[in-house]
Structure 1
């Protein structure tokens, strides 16, 4: 599982930062990429990575401001031109379906795959399969803006094959029963408790990606105990009044959310183009006044999110 930041800027593209888009790369987990927001130029950013548009399975839109959605028509079209045939799911606020369908209709674009639109009706569980759950909650941004919490299922420990073979148990269907933690009776009458032959399980990872927002309790709830929190930081700590007026967050706002939610790592994004060089370092330093493990993302920054051992009850 990796996060790759395709665009980390706020408002308009800049030479050193494109506008918002983040890829959650789940290639080892389910051979797919999930995209969070798709600002103008996202497909050009993708060309500078190893991401293949046909691997993009889901797109989660936080809100309908242009710097988060203007790249969608181009990416959707290119995905078709480049041989994409699998269905694409697009999640987002009410209006995302109308906007995309209107863009495709007026440009007479025909796709080689279907799009399934899931417009958010209420906070809560948005998607679930046997590997992942995705939750959403509305934030505070003047227009409907959402945060997403991706929760991975726990990983079952590995079967201790060497120990079983030392007991004279040969590979076969019995391994499957032991792997499931069942008690099995061997031909010689011995009883094996499968739980004793499964390695330590590993806790599923949690990734929280927020849309543009003021500091809010919903952000803390979405980020609770996350391995990674991605939070906007459009303003520095001295611009709190401006941040509130424009429904955005400061470095301190983001750090306070991370601290309250007890996350492992905080990544700041949605950085204004007025911050350059040492100014960016200062943003990180400001956040560290409250929360130590924090980084300011830049375009093409990639973060590996490793599994951790599951804590004993």
Structure 2
């Protein structure tokens, strides 16, 4: 899996940073991808990336501020005009359904693919064969959520040498054995695949925060995550201003990651007041507290 940042700015786009959108490529698990927020111009950013609109399975919207949703109607309608028929599930706070349906209706637009819109609250959104996704409420002037994506543990490595030693030869049933299932071999023997598996491989955990001031929910949302994506809208010297508008400073983002025992922090959602030459200074503020911090730039790619 990998994270691709399509937009890393806050509030308004700048020449160096578009507004918020993040793509999660599920390669290695399944063929699709998920999108987190869809600020204005996201589809233009997608055109400059490896993201395939036809492979989008799900879109998660953290909150209804324009820099997180104004690109959504355009992306959906362009997807239709390009003849894509695969459906999408859209998750977002109450009001997202009205926003999408009104935008399509007033613009005389329509969709050629199934669109399921799920208006969310705090709690588990879904759990399938690969992932569990949970929404956590954040502290912002409008209803806002962060998402914890937990990959289920995977079966351990199949001990092929031991199978061969027990007279079980490679064949069409090996795939079932790799999943730990019990199968009946062609010679009639019943083989329990779990007896030939090594220790389970722990799944990865990713925490993606929406806009937020420091919040009590952060400890559960980010707890021991492999990667945390968190806003750092303003520098430490402007912390009071950041918090007053429902945002966090660099130092607050880094402190949260440290307290949550996260493995890596990626900061994003930087104010347009900061130019590229300011980035190292903001990153240094984070690393002074949490050394395993990276800063996202538009089109930055982070393997998970």
TM-score range, shorter chain: over 0.9
Preserved CA contact (<8 Å) 1:141 1:213: yes
> Structure 1 residue 166: deviation in Å?
3.4
1:18 aligns with 2:18: yes
Cross-structure match for 1:227: 226
Q: Compute the RMSD of aligned alpha carbons.
A: 2.2
Q: Which runs of 5+ in 1 are unaligned?
A: 306-313
1:123 aligns with 2:122: yes
Q: Which runs of 5+ in 2 are unaligned?
A: none
Residues paired across the two proteins, number: 303
Pair 1:178–1:80, CA change in 2 (3 A): closer
> Structure 1 residue 162: deviation in Å?
3.0
Cross-structure match for 1:168: 167
> Structure 1 residue 168: deviation in Å?
2.4
Pair 1:235–1:44, CA change in 2 (3 A): same
> Structure 1 residue 167: deviation in Å?
3.2
Alignment of 1:234-245 (within 5 A): 234-245=233-244
**Secondary structure at 1:255 match in 2:** helix
Normalising by structure 1, what TM-score?
A: 0.91
Cross-structure match for 1:251: 250
Cross-structure match for 1:41: 41
Cross-structure match for 2:207: 208
Preserved CA contact (<8 Å) 1:223 1:258: yes
Preserved CA contact (<8 Å) 1:54 1:82: no
Distance across 2 between alignment mates of 1:256 and 1:304? 23
Greater displacement, 77-86 / 265-274: 77-86
Cross-structure match for 2:50: 50
Preserved CA contact (<8 Å) 2:150 2:204: yes
After superposition, the C-alpha distances for 1:27-61 in whole angstroms (9 at most, x for unaligned) are 33121110000000000000011111011111000
Alignment of 1:54-203 (within 5 A): 54-120=54-120, 122-172=121-171, 175=174, 176=176, 180=180, 194-203=193-202
Distance across 2 between alignment mates of 1:70 and 1:63? 11
Greater displacement, 37-46 / 105-114: 105-114
After superposition, the C-alpha distances for 1:238-268 in whole angstroms (9 at most, x for unaligned) are 1111011111000011011101111110000
